[in-house]
């Protein structure tokens, strides 16, 4: 069994994991950079270790320091949260070599899904529908031939991709050379790997993803979908479960395809299988072998704590529920509160002079922010997540409107005003939006 977990992350997710550990009676160790000495996850953990200066490379991404912190504190497991080391196969192997449990999938599965070309091939072999595209890597010399075969418009994507980087659309043969060259150089700069592949560019899809959890022995469940179509620059802003676009039969069908694939793989841990959904068809784009930022909306509609499940399966205890026992109840929406200008999305670090979190039935705020907290400029700008649950989508939206009015964060700019706009928009009220909706809306309503 796991008795002490070191949380190799910061911010709201470190707090999220810490809460789950406390509920399970597991001791916690926070690690932090010198910039985060006053952070909430550090204050609430049973023990904490400073692992380096502010830049992530020298602290949160420093594997030696994290392993040393485990040795010093006697932590027998590490939860990586999301981002940072959560999808680093080498990290999982190093922990394993030190007899420390990695709360996540096997290094082999992280690798398999980390490379998008291999992931796509694997998904296809496991019976998951994929976006039509190239068989593997595309080189500048054969790009035109491949694009003609797929049919324009096409999307060039980095095989090591993430966060929407290294992704370029080519609408016709005239744009192709430049799109391939830019995608390759962006990919090389961001991931140290310039390999790219090509997909059919879908014109009006929704982004729908399926949450799965596997026990590593061939049992796996799905917890329905999340609709994350509201994005800007391929980054999710607002997520909902269930998707306004799916009915129960569609949900259970695609969910089962994913759970069956995970059973075949003997997947261990939580994971998300991401799809684009257009004209009634699902197309796999990637699998994330970790907890997602937006996991709380799934927790809201199922009542299942995904971090508890992660810890259970990592310790070999199996899943706490069977597929038949899972009940989907009501509707949940998550708003990502970033310390950013709500229009330009330019980061706005600084000191929070006033902070009041909303409450009441069906409201969850996951945040490490507090009055007087100084947001360091070194990390991503997510400072909190607002999750609202209602018995129906309408109730959920009405509650969200009330809650957004109540939330006070002063001293910095945040994305809260954007959500106040969205909650009053007719398309959003109708659930009628695709992955391009938000960018179009922002362009149309530019001040
Ligand atoms: P990343 O790992 O960089 O986030 P993904 O493959 O998950 O990349 O894609 C991110 C987003 O890019 C998707 O949610 C979608 O908005 C857009 N996208 C990806 N593939 C396609 C495609 N074939 N056609 C249209 N849009 C796409």
Number of residues in the chain: 447
391 is catalytic: no
pLDDT tens-digit readout, 289-340: 999 999 999 999 999 999 999 999 999 999 999 999 999 999 999 999 999 9
pLDDT tens-digit readout, 184-232: 999 999 999 999 999 999 999 999 999 999 999 999 999 999 999 999 9
- The answer, yes or no, to whether any atom of ligand 1 lies below 6 A from the CB of 236, is no
Please give the C-alpha separations between residue 131 and each of 52, 123, 194, 195, in angstroms, as whole numbers.
Answer: 42, 11, 21, 18
Q: How confident is the model at residue 113, as a pLDDT?
A: 96
Q: Which residue has the tokens 């502010």?
A: 54
Give the ligand 1 atom nearest the CA of 203. 25
Provide the phi-psi class of 372: left if phi over 0, else alpha when psi is between -120 and 50, else beta.
Answer: left
Phi/psi for 203 (5° steps) reads -80, -35
CA-nearest residue for atom 20, ligand 1, is 285
Provide the phi-psi class of 185: left if phi over 0, else alpha when psi is between -120 and 50, else beta.
Answer: alpha
pLDDT > 70: percent of the chain: 100
CA-nearest residue for atom 11, ligand 1, is 234
> What end-to-end distance do the CA atoms of the chain give, in Å?
56
Which pTM does this prediction carry?
0.95
Q: How many CB atoms lie within 10 A of CB 372?
A: 12
Joined tokens for residue 278: 């257009």
Asked if residues 324 and 299 have their Cβ atoms less than 8 Å apart, the reply is: no
- The answer, yes or no, to whether any atom of ligand 1 lies below 6 A from the CB of 209, is no
Ligand 1 centroid from CA 130, angstroms = 12
Enumerate the H helices of 215-345 as residue ranges. Answer: 248-265, 295-302, 306-314
Residue among 192, 195, 173 at smallest CA distance from 184: 195
Joined tokens for residue 198: 């090509």
Torsion from C-alpha of 249, 251, 257, 261, nearest 10 degrees: -150
Ligand 1 centroid from CA 2, angstroms = 36
Q: How many CB atoms lie within 10 A of CB 317?
A: 13
Ligand 1 centroid from CA 285, angstroms = 7
Joined tokens for residue 71: 């040795």
Q: How confident is the model at residue 447, as a pLDDT?
A: 65
Asked if residues 120 and 169 have their Cβ atoms less than 8 Å apart, the reply is: no
CA-nearest residue for atom 8, ligand 1, is 164
- The answer, yes or no, to whether any atom of ligand 1 lies below 6 A from the CB of 164, is yes
Asked if residues 82 and 294 have their Cβ atoms less than 8 Å apart, the reply is: no
- The answer, yes or no, to whether any atom of ligand 1 lies below 6 A from the CB of 196, is no
CA 168 to chain centre: 21
| C-alpha neighbours within 13 Å on the C-beta side of residue 60 | 26
Confidence label for 162 from pLDDT (cuts 50, 70 and 90): confident
In this predicted structure, the answer to whether residue 158 has a pLDDT above a threshold of 80 is yes
Q: How confident is the model at residue 100, as a pLDDT?
A: 98
In this predicted structure, the answer to whether residue 233 has a pLDDT above a threshold of 90 is no
Give the ligand 1 atom nearest the CA of 285. 6
Asked if residues 375 and 53 have their Cβ atoms less than 8 Å apart, the reply is: no
């Amino acid at each position: 069994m796991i008795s002490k977990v070191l949380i190799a992350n910061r911010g709201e997710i470190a707090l999220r994991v810490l809460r789950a550990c406390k509920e399970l009676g597991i001791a916690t160790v926070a690690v932090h950079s010198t910039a985060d000495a006053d952070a909430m996850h550090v204050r609430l953990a049973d023990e904490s270790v400073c692992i380096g200066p502010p830049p992530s490379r020298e602290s949160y991404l420093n594997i030696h320091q994290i392993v040393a912190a485990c040795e010093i504190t006697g932590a027998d497991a590490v939860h990586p949260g999301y981002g940072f080391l959560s999808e680093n196969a080498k990290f999982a192997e190093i922990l394993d070599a030190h007899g420390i449990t990695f709360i996540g999938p096997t290094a082999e599965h992280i690798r398999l899904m980390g490379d998008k070309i291999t992931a796509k091939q694997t998904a296809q072999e496991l019976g998951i529908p994929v976006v039509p595209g190239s068989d593997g890597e595309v080189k500048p010399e054969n790009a035109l031939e491949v694009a003609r075969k797929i049919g324009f418009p096409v999307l060039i994507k980095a095989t090591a991709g993430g966060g929407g980087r290294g992704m370029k659309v080519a609408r016709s043969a005239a744009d192709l050379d430049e799109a391939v060259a830019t995608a390759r150089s962006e990919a090389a700069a961001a991931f140290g790997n310039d390999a790219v592949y090509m997909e059919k560019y879908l014109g009006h899809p929704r982004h729908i993803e399926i949450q799965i959890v596997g026990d590593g022995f061939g049992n796996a469940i799905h917890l329905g979908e999340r609709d994350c179509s509201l994005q800007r620059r391929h980054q999710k802003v607002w997520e909902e479960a269930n998707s306004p676009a799916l009915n129960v039969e569609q949900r259970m069908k695609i969910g089962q395809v994913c759970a069956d694939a995970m059973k075949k793989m003997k997947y261990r841990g939580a994971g998300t299988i991401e799809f684009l959904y257009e004209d009634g068809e699902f197309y796999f784009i990637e699998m994330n072998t970790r907890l997602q930022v937006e996991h709380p909306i799934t927790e809201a509609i199922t009542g299942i704590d995904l971090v508890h499940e992660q810890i259970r399966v990592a310790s070999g205890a199996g899943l706490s529920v069977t597929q038949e026992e899972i009940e989907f109840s009501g509707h949940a929406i998550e708003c990502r509160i970033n310390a950013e200008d709500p229009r330009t999305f330019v980061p706005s670090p600084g000191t929070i002079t006033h902070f009041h979190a909303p409450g009441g039935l069906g409201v969850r705020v996951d945040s490490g922010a507090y009055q007087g907290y100084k947001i360091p400029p070194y990390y991503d700008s997510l400072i909190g997540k607002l999750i609202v649950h209602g018995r129906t989508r309408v109730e959920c939206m009405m509650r969200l409107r009330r809650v957004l009015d109540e939330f006070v964060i002063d001293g910095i700019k945040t994305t809260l005003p954007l959500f106040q706009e969205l909650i009053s928009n007719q398309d959003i009220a109708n659930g009628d939006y695709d992955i391009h909706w938000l960018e179009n809306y922002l362009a149309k309503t530019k001040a």
